[in-house]
Amino acid sequence: MPDSNNSATIELALDLISRASVTPEDAGCQQTMISRLQALGFNAEQLRFEEVDNLWARRGNTGPLFTFAGHTDVVPTGPLEQWDSAPFKPEIRDGILYGRGAADMKGSLAAFITACERFVAKHPDHKGSIALLITSDEEGPSINGTVKVVQHLEARDEKIDWCLVGEPSSTNKVGDVIKNGRRGSLGARLVVQGIQGHVAYPHLAENPIHQLAPVLAELAAEEWDQGNEFFPATTFQVSNINSGTGATNVIPGEAEVIFNFRFSTELTADILQQRVEAILNKHPLKYTLDWTLSGQPFLTAEGELVSAACEAIQELTGYSSELSTAGGTSDGRFIAPTGAQVLELGPVNATIHKVNECVSTEDLDTLSVIYERIMEKLLT
């Protein structure tokens, strides 16, 4: 039952978290949001691509266009017995809201809605337009979600000027960190071919693991760049190595390695691919190499959106925000290439994807007010 002591933001967050929307399920979250937005005069378009539900809701027909972007899907819960309370039966204990998606990112979604409700009530004739771009495919393949909605908008020349992504950006307290860019993500699958044989007769075989080891050592030791004032240095990490039959007396016939680069704006994906292949070709390998570019790096170094967010946080909390590009990728990578100013601002990220995911209720209320103040600075 609703608690009369809870704010509108917390009540909506409780509702959204109670819906088991594991990727690509939306579980009715977007419909709940639509009902609130339509009451404010938003025009809601439900855009379903394959198994993914997406929402584009807009209030106003003129520019500039300010957009909140987020996702209703959550990652799986992990072992239920390790949770102190059921992940889809949210609980508030000592001012902390527990449940899957509390921080990533149903708390932000609730703050989007309540910020819009207060803002529209105070400024029914605001400048420009407000929109929400919501998907149920951010935590998964990200094939039929935000990227498809952006393509849909681009096809009709509907341009986002400012986009605030509600990803949990904060480190210790809400708003202490704003992500004003993200590194690119480039993955690869390398398969080195050898010749299978008996370990007692290595001269009749070719061990691909032995061939691969010095290559990996060289790749791991390589300095790819030194980063810049906005980005840390590019990193190379091996995430999987697979080889062998399971038997102790068989030299394997091939070895597979999965690796990933998180790269800065100092490099391009093409340059990274060329440098990796140059290293591989220095060694006597028979190999295949398949690349997957998950996202280009993007950066909003300055502009009205960053200024509005930093000023709002300073005014409402009394402390300054750090601009950062650290961390993983987000759907901002699909929006920034359209020319939009993009930043990520959300709650503390300490428990995201973990058992007992949680967020401070006070932080969510503060976040909603920050979102409202940002709209006031941009659209009034």
User: Is there a catalytic annotation at residue 84?
Assistant: no
Q: Where are the alpha helices (DSSP H) in 234-360?
A: 269-281, 304-317, 332-335
pTM: 0.87
What mean pLDDT do residues 225-242 have? Answer: 95
Question: How many Cβ atoms are within 10 Å of 133's Cβ, its own excluded?
Answer: 26
Query: pLDDT tens digit string along 138-171?
Result: 999 899 999 999 999 999 999 999 999 999 999 9
Cα–Cα distance between 276 and 256 in angstroms, integer? 16
Quick check: 2 pLDDT over 70? no
Contact 120, 41 (CB under 8 A): yes
Compare 328 and 95 and report the one with higher pLDDT: 95
- 104 catalytic, yes or no? no
65 three-state secondary structure: strand
Which residues 6+ apart lie within 8 Å of 191 measured at CB?
A: 254, 255, 256, 257, 287, 288, 289
Q: Given this model, what pLDDT does residue 5 score?
A: 81
Q: Pick the catalytic residue: 104, 117, 137, 138?
A: 138
Selecting among 73, 104, 137, 331, the annotated active-site residue is 73
